[in-house]
Amino acid sequence: MPDGRTLAVKVQYPGVAKSIDADVDNVATLLRISGLLTEEIELGPLLAAAKRQLAEEADYLREGREMRSYAERLAGDPRYVVPELVDELTTPRVLAMSFIEGRPIEMLADAPQRDRDAAMTALITLVLRELFEFGTMQTDPNFANYRWQPPSGALVLLDFGAARQVPASTAAAYKRLIQAGLRRDRDQIRAVAVETGFIGAAAAFEHRDAINRMIAAVDDASSGAGPFDFADRAFVPMVREEARTILADRNTWHVPDVETLFVQRKVSGTALLAARLRAKVDVRGLAAAATTQ
């Protein structure tokens, strides 16, 4: 560029946008034919949401607008760096932005504990702000969407194609669930999870004891003194085994609300990264601050 900027350019493979609907329909057909899904599960809303999401991700003008919005929201916070959009070179199929130096975030796994903790505290804080403050969330938690800048510890945020609005009802459901968790009210956790669609009513009735054990295990693990240690996975095998039993009962299968699925993908992916980095984070403190504003 004449102004001396180094650019990063994202170019879309030809034909991607036009193939989205057919590709999603083909996957749905394979699932039905395979017998993996019961006839009672309604795929219509999921398929429509998947098509809409993929179409939006294929629109680089839209992604550029989302990237600029994130830069404005996070301006002045040294923990985050967002590339600058280059409008004059961006089209629906070409996204041009400033090139930002950074290392793969997985390299943090070998960094000192304080650096790992700081990075994950920043990312979890961002997820909570997306959910309860921005009303918009970048719902793709792919590790490649984050870079790390030593020695400052700043995180470079990339790929805003999966950014989408979070409905107020979805944010309210998460707030109620988090607040019940902070109170350690296990009955209320279960009740809110069913009421808001995190858990199916049939599963809650048929597998009440198993669900209670899962809630108790997560509650015990997350309520100890000090920061939550994402490297401590002692409770995971028990939760996984209980979940396997529930999933084996096809008669109680349940698909949560589409918007909940998008948010949960980001939440789960962030937790997976925290476990990968063996981070220790004051999750309860962050959650309490985010849900009392």
- 137 within a domain of the structure (yes/no): no
Q: For residues 42 and 203, which has the higher predicted lDDT (pLDDT)?
A: 203
Check: pTM over 0.85? Answer yes or no.
yes
Distance of CA 118 to the CA centre of its chain: 19
Q: For residues 53 and 34, which has the higher predicted lDDT (pLDDT)?
A: 53
Whether 182 shows a pLDDT value over 70: the answer reads yes
- pLDDT classification of 1: cutoffs 50, 70, 90: low
Tens digits of per-residue pLDDT, 11-50? 987 776 767 666 556 555 654 554 545 555 666 777 777 7
Which whole number is the average pLDDT over 82-94? Answer: 95
Q: Nearest CA to 127 among 190, 62, 171, 188?
A: 171
- 174 within a domain of the structure (yes/no): yes
Tens digits of per-residue pLDDT, 91-138? 999 999 999 999 999 999 999 999 999 999 999 999 999 999 999 999
- 51 within a domain of the structure (yes/no): no
- Reported as half-sphere exposure (CB side, CA atoms, 13 A), residue 145 has a value of 16
Q: Which residues pair with 164 in a beta bridge?
A: 137
- 232 within a domain of the structure (yes/no): yes
Question: d(Cα 193, Cα 191) in Å, to the nearest integer?
Answer: 5
- 92 within a domain of the structure (yes/no): no
Q: Determine whether 157 is exposed, middle or buried from the number of CB atoms within 10 Å of its CB (0-12, 13-18, 19+).
A: buried
- 187 within a domain of the structure (yes/no): yes
What per-residue confidence (pLDDT) applies to 24? 56
Range of the domain at 181: 168-292
Q: What percentage of the chain carries pLDDT values higher than 70? A: 88
- pLDDT classification of 194: cutoffs 50, 70, 90: very high
- 111 within a domain of the structure (yes/no): no
Question: What are 45's two structure tokens?
Answer: 């809303």
Say if CB 117 and CB 247 are below 8 A apart: no
Say if CB 100 and CB 83 are below 8 A apart: yes
Whether 219 shows a pLDDT value over 90: the answer reads yes
Q: Determine whether 277 is exposed, middle or buried from the number of CB atoms within 10 Å of its CB (0-12, 13-18, 19+).
A: buried
Q: How many domains does the chain have?
A: 1
Q: For residues 55 and 212, which has the higher predicted lDDT (pLDDT)?
A: 212
- 153 within a domain of the structure (yes/no): no
